[in-house]
Structure 1
Amino acid sequence: MGAPMKHISFLVLLMIFLGPDGKRGVHGAGDHQCGKSSIDNEVTKLAPCTLAAHDEKAEVSDKCCTVVKNVDVSCLCAILLSDIAKSSRINPVVAVTIPKRCNIANRAVGYKCGAYTLP
């Protein structure tokens, strides 16, 4: 798998778990918005999180944590449920742990995004 696709997959999962707005709920792929930005643009921002999204033992960079703190949880969920994420084979179980691994205090713990729940 190429590096760009790994970055996209990781970003999608990371956005799901961090949820800086603290909102909780159950959402489907059609329920998510990324504002005026496209999902592709949002995924690109999460590139620094690629390794952490594939390996739960990998250190999460400061840059990754900074990006994750600023992504809306509903947009993160949209990315996670997107075709881009599926095609990049990101491990959603690992990706959703990134906000916790970044020690983000106001992450959206318990937020439901499809079959995944943020820890």
Structure 2
Amino acid sequence: MEGAMKNICMFGFVVVLVIVGLGEVNGAGECGRANPDMEAFKLAPCASAAQDENASVSGSCCAAVKKLGQNPKCLCAVMLSNTAKSSGVKPEIAMTIPKRCNIADRPVGYQCGAYTLP
């Protein structure tokens, strides 16, 4: 009886692990199925504007930010991603790009980690 109970518990544990694993594969992250580190490459035109608040923001940067900004959670995850950090992006400056692009429907006041989108 005790052996059967152990087998049932082990089977239940394996089922839970499989369900959790499948949920991660389907992509329930901030950017859906996309990885924020990979999405960060789309913001390459914003590199200088994300490091220097006085740098001009290019049209291609604004277009990329506007597209990603349709999902504020994704934009936040991308701006705080390891890829962004390793390329020298300063999150406190990167958060100002939507405003510097004059994006009217930007997520004003959105909390992004320790930062707030102005």
Q: TM-score, normalised by structure 1?
A: 0.68
The structure, 1 or 2, with the larger RCO (C-alpha pairs under 8 Å, 6+ apart) is: 1
Task: Flag the structure with larger Rg.
Answer: 2
Identify the match of residue 36 of structure 1 among 17, 33, 38.
Answer: 33
Aligned residues: 89
Q: Which runs of 4+ in 1 moved over 6 A?
A: none
| Equivalent pair of 1:52/1:58 in contact (CA under 8 Å) | yes
2:57–2:100 CA contact under 8 A, matched in 1: yes
Aligned to 1:90: 89
Once the 2 structures are TM-superposed, how far is the Cα of residue 79 of structure 1 from its aligned partner?
A: 2.1
Residue number in structure 1 paired with 2:117: 118
Alignment of 1:1-119 (within 5 A): 33-71=30-68, 72-119=71-118
How far apart, in 2, do the equivalents of 1:82 and 1:46 lie?
A: 12
Unaligned runs of 5+ in 2: 1-27
Partner deviation per Cα, 1:60-118 (whole Å, 9 max, x = no partner): 00000011100021011112333333333421111111000000001000000110000
TM-score, structure 2 normalization: 0.68
Structure 1 gaps of 5+ residues are 1-30
How large is the RMSD of aligned CA atoms in angstroms? 1.7
CA distance in 1, matches of 2:78, 2:109: 18
